[in-house]
Structure 1
Amino acid sequence: MTLDPAERFARLRLARTERVGPVAFRQLLERFGSAQAAIAAWPRLTARAGVGSTPLFEPERTQAELDAGDRLGARLVLWGEADFPEALAAVDPPPPLFWALGDLALTQRPCLAVVGARVASAGGLRIARGLSAQLGEAGWTVVSGLARGVDGAAHEGALPTGTVAVLGGGVDDLYPPDHAALHARIAAQGCVISERPPGARAQAQDFPRRNRIISGLSRGVIVVEAELRSGSLITARQALDQGREVFAVPGSPLDPRSRGTNDLIRNGATLCEGIEDVERAFSTLRTLREPPAPPPDFAEPDVALIEQVAALLSPTPTPRDELARAVGAPPGAVAAALLELSLVGRATLLPGGLVSS
């Protein structure tokens, strides 16, 4: 769809509001039809849950973010817009938005992620660079995280044909500093994207979200080198959760950097020694992902139902439908009650229709 400037402003404001995560953002739009309508209903929604109002993100800060993006020449892409990548839109839940610097069309091509160790071996760097170059020549967009080691080598190999770098900080966050020149080349020849606002510096909590976008953009993830405890394996697990294919390049059992990739193969990942293994795997796959679940049919809850639902919540994730059966209320009313509880911090909405306290 094409969003007018007022709705784009409202969606950015809503997405940046505290306690509005990706699940709540999507449900607010599904329930009210627009971010502007959700913002108009905000005082009623947050007051009804019983613990006072949660403030919306300030309009001044929203405009400041838009101005910062304009100064960089970056583009804000919102979920629901035609240019939002199809693969990323199918993630449960998709990110509400991201900023893009460079050629956004690269995200619409078939994408494959290439990730791995920051302190990579010479052989691992050679494999990442060469494999990424072959993938690019075969029509794939190579996606990675612009980290040291395998990520940087993957971007370098794919740069002539187009590569996408997903950052933990804003699209202008030059981290690591020694990749400043590579960042500039990708912004000019490829695409740099980030969920975070322009000017934001990456924090530890940003990297799992970055990894989720790397796998979400991609039909599969290729891990070149990784120790048993590494961010690359987190990306691989997220790829599996999203219904993507996971590939792993085997290595020597004597090298700790190969233990993670060898363990992936041991647990069912596709062994990858070259582009032929990738092409063979995708030639046999019938579908990329399961169709997204239909949105809940929201109904207005009363205060009594909201409190009944709140009393049933625990730290253990529970299916939304199970809560509806427990209180004997329509699923749509329970979904609305959970949404309102989440906006004031009394519930946490999770992917797959799960919820916890």
Structure 2
Amino acid sequence: MATLNDIPEGLLLKIFTAQPVKSLLRLTSVCKLWYQLINSDFFVKSHLAYQKSSLFTNKTLFIRHRGSYSTNLVDGEPSNNVFESHGYDMLPVHSEFNPNVRLRCYGICDGLVCLSHGVGKLRACCPVYLWNPGVRRVLVLPPMVNDPDQRVFNYSYLCFGQHEGDYKVISVVPMGGVYKVYVYSLNQDSWDLLEFYDESKQTSNFDIWPHVWARFVNGAAYFVSGFSRPNRGIVCFDLSRKVIRRMNLPHNDFCVYNFLMEEYQGSIALIENDGDDHQVDVWELRANGNDNSYLWNKKLSMTPETMDTAMGMGTHLGAFGFVNKDKVVLWMTGGTYSGYKYFLLNLENKSVQPFTIPERYFGQLDRHVNVLYDLTESLVLLAKNTT
């Protein structure tokens, strides 16, 4: 009599690869063979590759920073309001360190969410977590410095991404003309330290902007540096070449207090809101030839008057950030709107369509609290020794 173990492994791989994470977690309890297959590195990578190539597997995350103990997170398709709450996943882990400090997301990649203390509270000594909400596993990263007497308490920038087959967390700590760059490897579960001396000696004026954080894209970490106007700019740390360089902002009057930095087309984009919320400009960073130079290209400029929404007209316009790598979620209010309306702007064809807000948010997002991300479900961390 045939058993589950008699099913050809190739057939199982084909069937299992197309299954959502929830279903796979249930299947691990069917038999030992299925458990071993689903937990294998080969299957985790195969399943991730399928999820990233599928048009129907990505989800939008609404990460809510309100609440004293944790970041609240729900996922699903905004169009049909199918959601799951993961708000208490971090409670047992985070409460061991500092339950009264809110968490913030510092990067999302292949189903992993990097969390630590919020902007303005983030220091190099703060705990850092890698969290997979799909498999509900949390990895607490080891301290950057093992010796408690040598811990660094300076403010830092933090970002997370994938590089050369490994997941990396980058922490950049400016200390009086020196950039201390801590690089965490998930494969090695350890940190390395690199130091760079800045000839401009301006890192002592480094400031943590309240609404901007770093991004790790194609092996490079980008962050904002400089408190005073002459010193403001983007600093880029190239992990492959082990070099650090500065670049100017798109223009001298760039509104550094009201913009977002996002990954876009293998580089970064800056979404600039003017000080009165009347205009949104999107700038993309492009390579300029083969000499490692760069240029800023204004991808588009939007005002309430240029928004062809067929849903009335607002007087104030702003942006939440990217979803699906090339679409920006915009909000508009005032004018004929009694509250906030939300739209999805396609940067490639400039089309605008309504963006549905989950029912649990009562049709409105708090623009200072909620951040939107695009998530690909994965099994990464499933076989790791985590919390």
Give the TM-score band, short-chain normalised. Answer: under 0.3
Larger fraction in helix: 1
Q: Which has the higher strand share?
A: 2
TM-score, length basis structure 2: 0.26
